[in-house]
Amino acid sequence: MAKITLEKIAEDLGISKVAVSKALNNQKGVSDALRMKIVQHAESLGYNKRTSVSDTRNKRFLYMINQDFFLTPSEQFYSTIFYFLTSICLKAQCQLQIAFLEPDYMIDKMKASIASYKPDGIFFAGEVRKSIIRYIEKMTIPCVFIDYFNPLYNCNYVYVDNYSLGFQLTKYLVAQGHKKIGFVGDIQQTASIADRFFGYQRALQDERLPFKLEWHVNENLEKKSQPLVISDKLSDMPTAYLSHCDAAAQRLYTSLSIKGYRVPDDISVISFDNTDLCDSLVPKLTSAGPSKEVFARKAFQVMNDCIGSKNKTFHVVVRTQLVERSSVKNILDSV
């Protein structure tokens, strides 16, 4: 079926494309009778209006994020998405303002930010408290969650399938000959970390490999000031660690080095997020994650769609890519 365009509708009705655009976008400049005629004809042709960048022109958006997520010194994930989203907004002639969700009186402070800025839409980056999601469900302002998904709440999500990614990275380590694989990350901290952990566990079960509790470092190392306490016996250690994020992998590098372990000769390390930090580490860190620019573009498009179709919700999964660098050793030949 041929694509139905504004030009086609205008030609059929003998009017200008500008008049068609104004009618379909509910703008001033056409009479009610003509607007109805245009809309009815467009619907009869099966015209499917997609929200365009012009729908967001001059609009104001908030980028709300937990203060702890954004201000961690080694944080490069949400800040990079914010950078690209800001650039997209500038090109679309709209504004993006950051606002922090602080731990104390979080909902009250969020309400104050919304009342002060009066946004046309809100991006929430990372996981937020359930009380905030319940409050958001009652709001009329379009909201899009970035890097978060909760099937219990009917909201708009742009996210990574972290369970599948945890499964994929563990399988990658197994393919490199690793059978003793540990995990770094506090699974009580966020759903993303938990999903990655359970994907890792499922891959171990699939390969009939052991899961040892002592190989699970149930901490977010990137937030710890002290190095991890590690066994002096290499035989007690995993041959590889799966780290919940690049910043935690950086701290793991340090903790292993203090004990005299070398990455990847003694212990391999693989991680999630694939931030710029990976290329600055020695050895360079093998990691998997989404393109932050693609994440930002998809989030902006979902916001566009929300503005154009307020009675619909959108769930968009962002694809990830594994970038092999130098932190994983193939030990098949040495086993």
Q: What is the CATH number of the domain that holds 310?
A: 3.40.50.2300
Pair (150, 180) in one structural domain: no
Domain check: are 75 and 101 in the same one?
yes
pLDDT class of 206 with cuts at 50, 70, 90: very high
Q: What pLDDT, on a 0 to 100 scale, did the predictor assign at position 42? A: 83
pTM of the model: 0.79
Residue 239 exposed, middle or buried by CB count within 10 Å (0-12, 13-18, 19+): buried
* Spatial CB neighbours of 31, under 8 Å, sequence gap ≥ 6: none
Does residue 227 lie in a domain region? yes
Which band of pLDDT confidence, cut at 50, 70 and 90, is reported for residue 146? very high
* DSSP SS3 for 333: helix
Co-location of 197 and 257 in the same domain = yes
CA-based torsion, 265, 269, 270, 272: positive or negative? negative
Residues 254, 297, single domain; the answer is no
Q: What is the number of domains present in the chain?
A: 3
Structural domain of 121: 57-160+292-321
In a domain, 326, yes or no: no
Tokens standing for 167? 């499964």
Residues 208 and 304 in one domain: no
Across the range 274-293, mean pLDDT stands at 96
C-beta of residue 182 within 8 angstroms of C-beta of residue 209: no
CB 308, CB 51: distance < 8 Å: yes
| Mean pLDDT, rounded, for 9-33 | 83
Sign of the C-alpha dihedral computed for residues 11, 15, 21 and 25 taken in this order: negative
- Tell whether 168 and 155 lie within a shared domain: no
- Do 110 and 120 lie in one domain? The reply is yes
pLDDT of residue 69: 75
The percentage of the chain sitting over the pLDDT mark of 90, rounded to a whole number, equals 64
Report if residue 331 sits inside a domain: no
Q: Are strands 143-146 and 121-125 parallel, antiparallel or unpaired?
A: parallel
In a domain, 267, yes or no: yes
Evaluate if residue 5 carries a pLDDT over 50.
yes
- Residues 133 and 240 both lie in one domain: no
pLDDT at 55: 63
What average pLDDT does range 169-186 have in this prediction?
Answer: 97
pLDDT at residue 298 greater than cutoff 60: yes
The pLDDT of 215-233, averaged and rounded, is 83
* Per-residue model confidence (pLDDT) at position 48: 62
pLDDT at 54: 47
189 pLDDT higher than 70: yes
- Residue 147 DSSP label: S
For range 65-89, the mean pLDDT: 85
